[in-house]
């Protein structure tokens, strides 16, 4: 697990470097699909003191397989996402300010411009509010289930983020690095959208044509943005 530990460690540092973390809020994880093992940040540990050896390895039931520290209290949410979205390999959770403000406002983030469309093909969805029973028992697991329910008819690789109502965002991708990167781009898009509604309360989404043009010039088989991948 050395290599996955390193990747997940780097992804956690990327969250801090990109200004997405206040205090100890925030965690990134990665999964080794063949072995069914997940590497995640320990709970409540100061990022400045974190080392790869502090990361915790668990199985998909959440039992610790390696490591001396408690895993992040959000582990059960990560596990549900790995179960619900077989195509993903990494998950990141932050309380980044602008994305969290949208989550607190319980409004999806409309696709107001091409910066948004470059990363997300449509509005960033908000989950339902959780019921009392979902909160009282297995809260973190149910947080994952409420996200999965919201994505019942959506492709998690076209929309790599969600806002949990009254809480904060989760993002994901093919590995921990991509999850952390989408958490970062989500914050940028949330910031632009925040400023957009301040200027024009009745701001509207861009057309589907413009949205898809930007998403598809960066993603998928016909992408032509950036340098040829070799």
Binding site for a copy of itself (CB under 8 A): 22-25, 42-45, 69-70, 73, 95, 97-98, 100-107, 112-115, 129-130, 132, 135-136, 139, 166-168, 185, 188, 191-200, 203, 206-207, 209-210, 213, 217, 224-228
- Beta-carbon neighbour count of residue 123 at 10 Å? 17
Separation between Cα atoms, residue 47 and residue 36, nearest integer Å: 26
Distant-in-sequence, close-in-space partners of 167: CB < 8 Å, separation ≥ 6: 100, 103, 143
Q: Which is nearer to a copy of itself, 70 or 149 (CB)?
A: 70
Q: How far apart are CA 34 and CA 31, in angstroms?
A: 9
- Residue with smaller CB distance to a copy of itself, 37 or 165: 165
Nearer to a copy of itself, 174 or 217 (CB): 217
Task: Please indicate whether residue 181 is annotated as part of the active site.
Answer: no
CA 5 to chain centre: 18
Whole-angstrom Cα distance, residue 1 to residue 37?
9
What is the C-alpha to C-alpha distance for residues 104 and 166, in angstroms, rounded to an integer? Answer: 4
Give the nearer residue to a copy of itself in terms of CB position, either 31 or 167.
Answer: 167
Please report how close the Cβ of residue 138 comes to a copy of itself at its closest, in angstroms: 11
> How large is the angle between the packed helices 176-199 and 2-17, nearest 10 degrees?
20
CB of 86 to a copy of itself, least distance (A): 28
Least distance in angstroms from the C-beta of 203 to a copy of itself: 5
Q: Encoding tokens for residue 144?
A: 């994952």
How many angstroms separate the CA atoms of 122 and 206, rounded?
A: 10
Question: Would you call 139 a catalytic residue per the annotation?
Answer: no
Active-site option among 32, 54, 118, 138: 118
Active-site residues: which are they? 118, 225
């Amino acid at each position: 697990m050395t290599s996955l530990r390193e990747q997940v460690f780097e992804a956690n540092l990327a969250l801090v470097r990109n200004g997405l973390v206040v205090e100890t809020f925030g965690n990134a994880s990665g999964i080794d699909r063949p072995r069914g093992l997940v590497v995640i940040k320990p709970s409540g540990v100061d990022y400045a003191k974190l080392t790869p050896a502090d990361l915790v390895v668990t199985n998909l039931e959440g039992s610790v397989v390696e490591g001396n520290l408690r895993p992040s209290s959000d582990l059960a949410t990560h596990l549900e996402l790995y179960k619900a979205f077989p195509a993903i390999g990494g998950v990141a959770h932050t309380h980044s300010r602008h994305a969290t403000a949208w989550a607190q406002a319980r409004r999806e983030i409309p696709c107001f411009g091409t910066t948004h469309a470059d990363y997300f093909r449509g509005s960033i969805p908000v989950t339902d509010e959780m019921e009392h029973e979902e909160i009282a028992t297995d809260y973190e697991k149910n947080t994952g289930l409420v996200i999965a329910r919201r994505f019942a008819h959506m492709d998690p690789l076209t929309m790599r983020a969600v806002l949990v109502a009254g809480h904060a965002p989760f993002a994901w991708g093919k590995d921990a690095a991509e999850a952390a990167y989408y958490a970062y781009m989500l914050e940028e898009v949330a910031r632009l959208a925040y400023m957009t509604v301040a200027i024009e309360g009745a701001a509207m989404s861009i057309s589907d044509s413009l949205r898809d043009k930007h998403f598809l010039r960066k993603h998928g088989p016909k992408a032509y943005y950036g340098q040829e991948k070799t």
